[in-house]
Every structure is written in C-alpha cells, then in structure tokens.
Amino acid sequence: MSDPAKVRRHAERIRELVASLVRSQIKDPRLGMITITDARITADLRDATVFYTVLGDAAAQASTAAALESAKGMLRSTVGKALGLRHSPTLTFVLDDVQDQVKHIDDLLAAARTADAEVQRLAAKSSYAGDAQPYRVEEEDEDGEDAPAQDEDDDEPRAGERR
C-alpha cells in the first residue's frame, strides 16, 4: 500500500492533468462545457476515477461522456507518462451530479421552511388543552411558608409507622 499523502498528491495531479488535456488536446466536437471537479485514485495507484460536470441538458452530458470515453486511451497514456509510475492508472469518468443534489437539497429546505411556518401559524392560535400549570405545586400558608401537602387519609398510619 502507498502512503496516503502520496495517493492524494497523485489524485490532485491527475485532476490537473486531465483538466488541462481536455482543454488543450481533445478536439472532439461532442465535448461540451466540461469542468473536472475531482479525481480519486486507489491506494495501489492502478485505478483512477475522474469526476466531471457538464453545462447543458442530458444530450450534452451524453455526448460529452462519449467524447471522454473515446479519448480515454490518449488521456491515460499522457497521465501515465506525466506521473512517472510503473503502471499507468486506468481512468474512469463519472458524471458529478452536484448541481442536481444541490437543487434537491434546496427544494427540501424550502419545504421544511414552509412546514415550519405552518406550525408556527397554528401554534399562535392554539391554547393549552389542560391547565396552564399541569404540575402539582405546594400551596403557601398565610405566613409565606410552604405548607406540607396533606393526604386525605392522614388518620390511618402508613406502613412502617407507629402511632
């Protein structure tokens, strides 16, 4: 196994290399407005996963995926030479759907805000179902001292008490 810091450095280098190669070397017309967002490499430095986003609809995403798939060999050889590793890592391209996840989370937060506003509106109109103070409180004497709570059946001795 490799050092984790070395793996991170190689992953960052792969991300930078692929981004510059996509910008300068790939002349495929199917390639859309692409951004390389992240790259991860396994600990044995054999397999690399490159995450990307595409500006556009599903057709633009599909055509960009096809363009990256066709340029995978050239990208792999260039990355392998630049890294100087014994084995060039295989590249796997994965569409990073961050924007869809962000939109979904924003929709969930908006729904939660409206539900909270509805609860607050209903709570403002509500009143207690029972007493405002549902717990038993000791009553005060005229002297201002707390009177002990008296049970109704004080005449009978309790268990373990003598008279």
Strand segments, DSSP code E, in the chain are 33-41, 47-55, 90-95
Burial environment of residue 40 by CB neighbours within 10 A (0 to 12, 13 to 18, 19 or more): middle
Instruction: Name the pairing type of β-strands 33-41 and 90-95.
Output: unpaired
* Three-class SS of 78-94: HHHHHHCCCCCCEEEEE
Residue 50 pairs in a beta bridge with 39, 93
Quick: pLDDT tens for 35-53. 999 999 999 999 999 999 9
Residue 35 pairs in a beta bridge with 53
146: pLDDT strictly greater than 60:
no
Residue 54 pairs in a beta bridge with 34
Compute the Cα dihedral for 148, 154, 160, 162 and give only its sign: positive
Cα separation, 95 vs 62, in Å, equals 10
Cα-Cα-Cα-Cα dihedral of 119, 125, 129, 131, to 10°?
120
> Regarding predicted confidence, which is higher, 111 or 125?
111
The predicted structure's pLDDT at residue 114: 96
The predicted structure's pLDDT at residue 137: 77
162: pLDDT strictly greater than 70:
no
Residue 152 pairs in a beta bridge with none
The pTM assigned to this predicted structure is 0.64
> Regarding predicted confidence, which is higher, 65 or 3?
65
Q: What is the mean pLDDT of residues 123-130?
A: 80
Q: How would residue 148 be classed by pLDDT, with cut points 50, 70 and 90?
A: low
Q: How would residue 125 be classed by pLDDT, with cut points 50, 70 and 90?
A: confident
